[in-house]
Structure 1
Amino acid sequence: MKKTILTKTFFQWIAAFTLLVSGALWATNGADLTQSPEVSGTPEGSIHMPKQQGRMALNYVNQPPLVPHSVDGYQVSKNTNRCLQCHGVEHYRTTGAPRVSPTHFMDSDGKVLSNVAPRRYFCLQCHVPQTDAAPIVENTFTPSKGFGN
């Protein structure tokens, strides 16, 4: 009985110490990251999210299209998906919005579903709004031949 209590206390101390150290490391790394000369943040208010604009060219094969309008205030949760009010099968003809791709109606086994597949339901995971923000980290990416500008 005494050995069990001693072992339990030992593991509680180890768990507490681990949490303390990992919290300290996380805070230190976060501070260093914000002060790194390689990362330049964008000043508050300098990002422009257009209300509406034309579609941008894709940069690579199977790139999810960018959203050409603001999504501020859009609710996408397990119960509601604001995107489907315009892009859904029932609405796209009346709204003029592009229809959700047929690939979004297939489950992971390739079975066609009557509704958007759960793995494709949260649109804003892949389809991000267009913006004129400067890149946070510079890169040398160039679009594949035949894509982009």
Structure 2
Amino acid sequence: MKSNVLNKPLSLCGALLSLVIASFAFAASDVDLQQSPEVSATVEGQIKMPKQQERMALNYVNQPPMIPHSIDGYQVTKNTNRCLQCHGVESYRTTGAPRISPTHFMDSDGKVLGEVAPRRYFCLQCHVPQTDAAPIIGNDFKPMPGFGQ
């Protein structure tokens, strides 16, 4: 009969990890965000994104472009992807939105597919709405020369 002695430290570690994560989430919710006139706070800790804004410059090579518009209510699930309604191969010509990159049609082996590759389908894994809200944690990041302007 196996002893449960080995399982107790693992469950204790899991409980401690949960406590640490919860404390970070609680601390982050108390941060006072500095806001520009275009960005306004809605509910404490949430930022209301402007409807549309100019695209921000990239800061480094191969940086995923940021989203220059609100994505409130956008649905990206395994069955539907609201982003492709404007940025898809067939729709970008009529909407004026930037076309989805050809790299998004390659699988992990470099094989070109007829539709967006599964690993690139969930746009919000890499592309985020842009805002000029103050960072929650300060940093000294500087864009590569020639970028971020």
- Same-fold call, TM > 0.5? yes
2:47 alignment partner, SS class? coil
Q: Which has the larger radius of gyration?
A: 1
Query: What is the distance in 2 between the residues matched to 1:104 and 1:140?
Result: 31
- Runs of 4+ in structure 1 off by over 3 angstroms are 30-36
- Aligned pair partner of 2:17 in 19, 22, 26: 26
Q: Which residue of 1 aligns with 2:56?
A: 56
Gaps of 5+ in 2: 34-43
Gaps of 5+ in 1: 1-5
Judging changes above 3 Å, is the alpha-carbon distance between structure 1 residues 96 and 77 closer, same or farther for their aligned structure 2 residues?
same
RMSD: 2.5
Kept in 2: contact 1:40–1:137 (CA 8 A):
no
Judging changes above 3 Å, is the alpha-carbon distance between structure 1 residues 100 and 21 closer, same or farther for their aligned structure 2 residues?
same
In the superposition, the TM-score normalised over structure 2's length comes to 0.81
Query: What is the distance in 1 between the residues matched to 2:75 and 2:68?
Result: 17
In the superposition, the TM-score normalised over structure 1's length comes to 0.81
* Counterpart amino acid of residue 90 in structure 1: E
Kept in 2: contact 1:106–1:113 (CA 8 A):
yes
Residue 19 of structure 1, CA deviation: 5.2
Identity among equivalent positions (%) equals 67
Give the structure with the higher percent helix: 1
